[in-house]
Amino acid sequence: MTIATQDFAATDLIELVRQYNPKADEAKIASAFEFGAEMHDGQFRYSGEPYFSHPVAVATILAEQRLDDATLITALLHDTIEDTRASYAVVEEKFGQEIADLVDGVTKLTNLELSSSETKQAENFRKLFMAISKDMRVLLVKLADRLHNMRTIKHMAPEKQLKKARETMDIFAPLAGRMGMQWMREELEDLAFRVINPDGRNSIIRRFITLQRETGDVIERITADMRHELETSGIKAEVYGRAKKPHSIWRKMEAKQIGFSRLSDIYGFRILTENEDDCYRVLGAIHRRWRAVPERFKDYISQPKSNGYRSIHTTVSGRNGRRVEVQIRTRQMHDVAETGVAAHWSYRDGVRSENPFAVDPTKWISSLNEHFEANDDHDEFLEAVKLEMYSDKVFCFTPKGDVVKLPRGATPIDFAYAIHTRIGHACVGAKIDGMRVPLWTRIKNGQSVDVITAEGQTPQATWLDIATTGRARAAIRKALREVDRDRYIKLGRELARSAFDNVRKRATDKALQSAAKTLRLEDSDELLARLGSAELTAQEVLHAVYPDVAAQTANLVGRDRAVIGLGRNQNFRRARCCQPIPGERIVGITYRGKGVVVHAIDCEALSQFDDQPKRWLDLHWHAGDHPPEYDATIEITIGNDAGVLGRICTLIGEQKANISNLTFLDRKPDFFRLLIDVDVRDAEHLHMIISALDAESQVAEVARHRDPEKAANGSERL
């Protein structure tokens, strides 16, 4: 298959680029086109079309946004490293490091399963933000890639269509909106809506057709009225009208719990002016002619959104009392509203556009990472990410008139923590516009908030149900952990005693103080608190006092010869999903450049490698004695009585096993359910521990815990 025999050609793309960037490197674009076509030769899409038609379509979408050469070339090559014989080195040699890095970045984004379980989703969201922080164009290519895939989704199997559509609705559409690419967000949402709820979408379209038959072309009539009003006022502006997208209307119907016939603002109008002053003149003319709807006015020119969006929004009662939404902005503001951060790389007449309203994408992503870099809690991280991506903002004021931006639905608690953590901790009440209000009150645009504080006040657990921002919730949780310090110290003492007993040592105050000094902690209480809250492991504490403990296991099977069947210089890691331990049947899966990941033979994760037999290795554990350093997780339900957890730790210690971590899954008035990570020698050792725990009267249930959702190639804790 040659380029000449296809329905698409490099000249078509180059001609499109030439219209906005006559200085483009046409030879390099043509070379990328030829290379991509060659690499994908013989590959076909679900539709039966040549596969290379997809990269060309992605590049065309980006060219329509007037993007630079490097982004377009990346689009043409974005699947070559993943799906063809091309490698990073080959792409770098032919097209340079910049493009090779961009293609590699898109490949890594493609491999992220963003819609998987929450723990993995949080980890992959972090990777996503790390990737796009290096170069935002990676995300622009990925969004265009998803858009074309959604446009052609009908050729996929129904179950795959549904999965892709949900992922698009939950992640890619909101991300496009957060990047300021509103046109793309709306199209992605509508394409996903077509798959997820075709009946709902069709019903809205049918009602639109019926409404138009009954009322005529309302959009054309209102547009003409607005143009006449602006001409009368001597204002030069362009007026555009349209019916809102089916998904947008459906979302309003769901939110307001009303039917289509009762929905008022289903039409939207956009007015583009020459300058900012004219925006406010247009607003005056519109409000003089039509009655403004109360509480439906937003001025994003004086208070821009964090993604750079600027516009005036107002809703008025138009013909026959029907409400219409009007957006007023300059042409430069409109460019940013349509293309978002893509405006940062766009060209016009061969010159990179200098749009004063475009947000620097580097600053945007840096501010995003700033909120997340210190957050190790998966729930808190996802909470913060989704708030940043999905929530609109409200603008409120301090008593001094300073502006505070918060997510929609924020409360005075969020406001207090946005000012300062100290203010949040001491909050006892709030006034909104001078009136005392409950702390759960939702703040509205333009309101003035005054936080009332008191000495001695501390955060309450109920605040977690009131706060909505990641910053407030993280600060509250941290403060509550401090309140639980005594409980963590008590738990840490039991963990330390069990670990020291395991090697026939005593966890004396002197020994613990010595460990704290070695680990550069303030005192033994701080050491025990960190141990009880799982910030330290008992093994770390033990080795801080007795570094020669490892010498006691010199005659045991070392890690370097624990697994038999590996090739020369091959390293192994235990899979986190099944935590294989000596004595169990195992198999290895090879990873290029990452060694071998060892799984238990019955691990559910192995099914994904059924069609890759060349990656399987037949392995088995060394028959000798192994040291107790292989962690396994036990899930246990125990009675919530005094001393029960201490007895559990004692039982595990009596079996010569070390507890490396404790995680509470559920706390009820009568029972606790938790995960205990224990370091064991082999399968028999683990069986002895579980049997000893099962015999305890206060243990309701105990079993080994395995988590198929954990990354199969994650490294072990050693």
**Annotated active-site positions, please?**
82-83
In the chain, % helix, strand, coil (3-state, to 5) comes to: 50, 15, 30
701, β-bridge pairs: 637
Helix axes 97-110, 69-77, angle to 10 degrees: 50
Which of 409, 396, 393, 414 is CA-nearest to residue 464?
A: 414
CB atoms within 10 A of CB 8: 17
Q: Which two tokens stand for residue 382?
A: 């996802």
In Å, what is the CA distance from 96 to each residue of 29, 89, 99? 13, 9, 6
Q: What does DSSP assign to residue 661?
A: E
Q: Which two tokens stand for residue 425?
A: 């901790």
Buried b (16+ CB within 10 A) or exposed e, 396-428: bbeeeeeebebbeebbbbbbbbbeebeebbbbe
Which of 110, 108, 38, 42 is CA-nearest to residue 76?
A: 38
Query: Any idea which residue has 């025990």 for tokens?
Result: 528
Contacts of 395 (CB under 8 A, 6+ apart): 303, 403, 404, 405, 445, 446
480, β-bridge pairs: none
In Å, what is the CA distance from 366 to each residue of 75, 104, 172, 232? 25, 21, 20, 47
Measure the N-to-C terminal CA separation of the chain; round to a whole number of Å: 52
Phi, psi of 329 (to 5 degrees): -160, 165
Contacts of 64 (CB under 8 A, 6+ apart): 16
Length of the chain: 718
* Angle (CA) 336 342 348, round 5°: 80
Secondary structure of 436-477 in the HEC alphabet? EECCCCCCCCCCEEEEEECCCCCCCCCHHHHCCCHHHHHHHH
Residue 483: is it exposed, middle or buried by C-beta count within 10 angstroms (0-12/13-18/19+)?
Answer: exposed
Q: Which two tokens stand for residue 631?
A: 């962690």
